[in-house]
Amino acid sequence: MPAGTLYRGREGMWSWVAHRVTGVLIFFFLFVHVLDTALVRVSPEAYDTVVATYKTPIVALLEYGLVAAILFHALNGLRVIAVDFWIKGARYQKQMLWTVVALWVVLMLGAIYPVLGHAARELFGS
């Protein structure tokens, strides 16, 4: 079997699936996000009440998920751009994918404390 000619079921396909799923998720978040931000035109109380839900532990977990989706979509998006515009992009697409995954893991570890810290303090006391 010639190497590097199979797309289906391999890294290239799964990164494409993940790119698509994260892109759609971010779009739906953005729609809701513009609506909640629009509450600043209603009243400070209305805005602060809704934003208060953003600070609860369960939503903090969702925010961590959003960060995960955006970081993957952004890093893999740069990889897709490199595949399209860099002469050697296609040849190194696999290495670039593992670079994306490694960077993503590091950044997600770094995001644990800033994004989830306040939730942990609320749940377990400080």
Partner 1 sequence: MSTSEKTAAGVGPVEGGAVYTVDNPAPFIEAPRQRTRKTPKSTRGNFELAAWLFMRLSGVVLVVLVLGHLLIQLVLDGGVSKIGFAFVAGRWASPFWQVWDLLMLWLAMLHGANGLRTVINDYAERANTRLWLKGLLYTATVFTILLGTLVIFTFDPNIR
Q: Which is nearer to ligand HEM, 26 or 101 (CB)?
A: 26
State in angstroms the smallest separation of the CB of 72 from partner 1: 12
| Residue 18 touches ligand HEM, criterion: CB under 6 A | no
Q: Does residue number 63 form part of the binding site for partner 1 (CB under 8 A)?
A: yes
CA-to-CA distance for 57 and 60, rounded, in angstroms?
A: 5
84 binding partner 1? (CB under 8 A): yes
> Judged by CB under 8 A, which of 54, 61, 65, 106 binds partner 1?
54
> Among 30, 33, 11, which Cα is nearest to 22's?
30
Q: How many C-beta neighbours within 10 Å does residue 95 have?
A: 10
> Cα(first)–Cα(last) distance of the chain, in Å?
58
DSSP state of 86: S
Binding site for ligand HEM (CB under 6 A): 19-20, 23-24, 26-27, 30, 33-34, 37-38, 54, 63, 66, 70, 73-74, 77-78, 80-81
